[in-house]
Amino acid sequence: DVKVTQSSRYLVKRTGEKVFLECVQDMDHENMFWYRQDPGLGLRLIYFSYDVKMKEKGDIPEGYSVSREKKERFSLILESASTNQTSMYLCASTALTKAEAFFGQGTRLTVV
Amino acid sequence: GQNIDQPTEMTATEGAIVQINCTYQTSGFNGLFWYQQHAGEAPTFLSYNVLDGLEEKGRFSSFLSRSKGYSYLLLKELQMKDSASYLCAVWVYKLSFGAGTTVTVRA
The count of CB pairs under 8 A between chains A and B is 55
Helices (H), A1-112: none
Neighbours of A107 (CB within 10 A): 22
pLDDT-above-70 percentage for chain B: 99
Do B42 and A42 count as a contact with CB atoms less than 8 A apart?
no
Can you tell me whether residue A19 is helix, strand or coil? strand
pLDDT digits (tens, 9 = 90+) for B35-55: 999 998 999 999 999 999 999
pLDDT score of B1: 60
Q: pLDDT grade, residue A95 (50/70/90)?
A: confident
* Burial of residue B39, with CB atoms counted within 10 A of its CB: 0-12 exposed, 13-18 middle, 19 or more buried: exposed
pLDDT digits (tens, 9 = 90+) for A50-78: 999 999 999 999 999 999 999 999 999 99
What is the residue-wise DSSP string for B58-105?
TTEEEEEETTTTEEEEEE-S--GGG-EEEEEEEESSSEEE---EEEEE
Q: Which residue of B has its CA nearest to A46?
A: B96
Q: pLDDT grade, residue A93 (50/70/90)?
A: very high
Do A40 and B48 count as a contact with CB atoms less than 8 A apart?
no
**Which residues from chain A sit within 8 angstroms of residue B32, using beta carbons?**
none
pLDDT score of A98: 67
Instruction: Indicate whether A96 pLDDT > 90.
Output: no
The distance of A17 to chain B (nearest Cα, Å) reads 26
Q: Is residue B95 within 8 Å of A92, Cβ to Cβ?
A: yes
* Separation of alpha carbons B72 and B65, rounded Å: 9
